[in-house]
A and B are shown apart, each in its own frame.
Chain A
């Protein structure tokens, strides 16, 4: 059972995550978009969307630090676990709460603003549900576990984090996660599920973050046939119509 839950399931989810993105990028570049609903409603979005997205960016950075950087490294830097804990709480809780409030507002907006609700697909609804679940569990772990220490003190940097890294060494250490509190386990499982859904939802827009904009020239010139044998305008040619070289 634990092999299924903590080895096979994560690998399948991550494989779907990677393979799914590759496949979708090949197959469905046109559907790869934020699907913004700003045109329908902007007052609520003006507050909710930046709150959510910037919160999420903070949460993401927090996860990278917490999961990727080994405790031995921060120890070596001379940051005591207690000090680290305080820094993590100070950064993580505001970011997490901001993201959660943002998400709540966004979901409220989706439900109550007619045109936005009409533009919401089943796919979106399931995705929102999963996202909310993962986030609530995450914030629960942070606040309830980290501050009030419900269910005893738990240092995820000695349990969940090494487990996460061990996945990428292809030597998953199941015992590490099995001993984690239920909240962490559920957070991890739902997150894996979300990863598996990721490439098939609008979440793909995360990978379009337009960082290149900072450096590219303002005006883009492009020839009709910049790609060899390519069609003009917005589409690639149909198979079989490649230009004769």
Chain B
């Protein structure tokens, strides 16, 4: 047994309202730079729908993840090492910008400077890539809330085999939101595909990172990741990906996307697993067994044997304690309500999902029946094969049994708690029908519905004695003492070359620039790096406000826009 610790996340999909707050805050924190305009480390997609990048789940096309060879060994779907090197000059399976979307901004200046005229002036969209006028035909969530899905949703790869049965007419379809971040897989195919060995899994907490100094821009990781969660920064020529907000995790605070989640549906915690068993579990023959195989890789932190092994492996005691309090282990292995996204890619993903009951509840409620009655819900779950099969395609490689079990559990919790809330006599047979005790059911309800901040996020911080080695120097002001040379944007050999700077410094500088500058930061061209989303009300990009007599556009920079 080789015990390792992994930071993991569980999302409760029933609670996601599709507000995209997580996406926007993540973007503000991590990808609001040129070269990353099209990148969303966190994206929220409406399902059924195409997702982002468009149709990424079609592995016939994109060749991401692992496949099990005839000899039972895993190999990268896109080909072995030699093939990787031979196709290095032009990666045949890399999505182009159009598969994500071409980022754009609007020509606000013309809008505001337009002379008096009969027609209302229009702010034209300009591409941030070519700098030319741009016809917007796609975006990161074009089919949000099923917009245009009569046309698009039929191409959802996960609807394969269900095409004839699913009605995509707006009123009759089911729908839910799927927020996605990098899965920080136990068996990451992005790392395996990297020729330079720049992508690594941190041995302390399992976070998968790209070493920016070692990445040489071969782009193989973009193909390797079946979730398409490694992105190519087209300005610096390096790959970037979700960092699980490691500077925050190291000091014990949750990721930006979880912290700001409006639905409070994200859980973060440590989970212990047996690294020796990962490959074996990822190579089981039957795809339907992958879910259980991965569950068995996780170790029970309450087991004294596991604790001893963990200590022997150098995991600090407070980390083991954190693993015991972790909501992740509880949701995955105790209540067994969380499921992995696309286990069939065999990367052993570590962001798990509690599938939504809402498609079922909605339908029941529409018929006028009691949508909180256990029997009605059970019957509906049994009848509604299509959402069930669709969810199974997402979370269990097509096996509906676990989906049905989870949804029955959620339905049981719903109706059991209704009785409690209304002061009726609780019905112990409801939890019993899904194999739980009343106490367990209530505890699960507490975790899913009421859990406070520190119950949802159980994050042991890195150790104090290592503090100076952490990214956000926790013992010092993170942005102090960095000389000019180290923090400027680009060196003599093109964007991004020259010295390094830390994430904190970079963000600090960017924010400072933006707040104090009169210009559109970064050249001020229409293809520059600032769009209105990035403008925070401080400082005045020229043309944003009409000029007044004797007043130049920038005079209000220090104290904000003046009132007329």
Contact = CB atoms under 8 A, between A and B. Distances in A.
Interface in B147-202: 187-188, 191-192, 194-197, 199-202
9 contacts: A30-B238, A35-B494, A40-B234, A41-B96, A46-B92, A50-B87, A208-B216, A219-B188, A232-B202
Given A40-B234, A45-B90, A235 B468 contact: no
A28 B491 contact: yes
A214 B84 CA distance: 10
A181 to B, nearest CB: 33
Interface string B487-521: 00001111011111010000000000000000000
Contacts of B202: 221-224, 232
Interface string A30-47: 111111111111100110
Interface in B455-499: 462, 466, 468-471, 473, 481-482, 486, 491-494, 496-499
Contacts of A27: 498-499
A183 B235 CA distance: 38
Contacts of B203: 221-224
Contacts of A214: 81-82, 85
A244 B82 CA distance: 43
A35 B237 contact: yes
Central interface residue in B88, B209, B247, B462, by most chain A CB within 10 Å: B88
A57 to B, nearest CB: 10
A213 B197 contact: yes
Nearest to B192: A218
Contacts of B194: 213, 220
Contacts of A222: 200-203, 211
Interface stretch (B23-31, B127-135, B304-312, B320-328): B127-135
Contact of A225 (B97, B199, B469, B491): B469
Interface string B206-230: 0001111111111100000000000
Contacts of A81: none
Contact of A33 (B85, B197, B204, B216): B216
A185 interface: no
Nearest to A235: B500
A232 B470 contact: yes
A31 B497 contact: yes
Sorted from nearest, which 5 A-B pairs have the closest CB atoms?
A31-B497, A210-B195, A35-B237, A218-B192, A29-B213
Interface in A198-232: 200-202, 205, 208, 210, 212-214, 216, 218-225, 229-232
Interface residues of B, number: 73
Given A40-B129, A50-B90, A235-B500, A31 B97 contact: no
A236 B501 CA distance: 10
Given A30-B213, A205-B216, 14 more contacts: A31-B494, A35-B494, A40-B96, A46-B92, A210-B85, A213-B81, A214-B81, A219-B191, A220-B201, A223-B202, A223-B204, A224-B466, A230-B469, A232-B470
Given A224-B462, A233-B471, A208 B200 contact: no
B497 A38 contact: no
A144 interface: no
Interface stretch (A8-16, A114-122, A145-153, A172-180): A114-122
Contacts of B201: 219-222
Contacts of B213: 29-30, 32, 234-236
A129 B492 CA distance: 19
B434 interface: no
A38 B90 contact: yes
Contacts of A231: 469-471
B96 A36 contact: no
A123 interface: yes
A53 B85 CA distance: 12
A243 B197 CA distance: 26
Contacts of A35: 217, 237, 494
Contacts of A19: none
A70 interface: no
A119 B492 CA distance: 14
B237 A33 contact: yes
B300 interface: no
B220 to A, nearest CB: 9
B313 to A, nearest CB: 12
Interface residues of A, number: 61
B527 interface: yes
A231 B211 CA distance: 12
Contacts of A52: 89
Nearest to B96: A42
Contact of A234 (B187, B188, B211): B211
A213 B97 contact: no
Contacts of B466: 224-225
Nearest to A35: B237
Contacts of B247: 233
Contact of A34 (B87, B192, B216, B250): B216
B237 A40 contact: no
A218 B216 contact: no
B236 interface: yes
Contacts of B493: 24, 28, 31, 123, 200-202
B232 interface: yes
Given A38-B219, A213-B197, A29 B471 contact: no
A114 B200 CA distance: 35
A70 B398 CA distance: 65
A225 B481 CA distance: 22
Interface in A114-141: 114-115, 118-119, 121, 123-124
A241 interface: yes
B125 to A, nearest CB: 16
A210 B491 CA distance: 25
Interface in B88-121: 88-92, 94, 96-97
Given A53-B89, A219-B191, A235-B500, A30 B494 contact: no
A29 B493 CA distance: 11
Nearest to B92: A46
B216 A213 contact: no
A54 interface: yes
Contacts of B345: none
B498 A30 contact: yes
Central interface residue in A36, A115, A223, A229, by most chain B CB within 10 Å: A36
Given A119-B234, A201-B493, A224-B202, A233 B468 contact: no
B246 interface: yes
B130 A114 contact: yes
Contacts of A34: 216-218, 237
B34 to A, nearest CB: 11
Interface string A178-198: 000000000000000000000
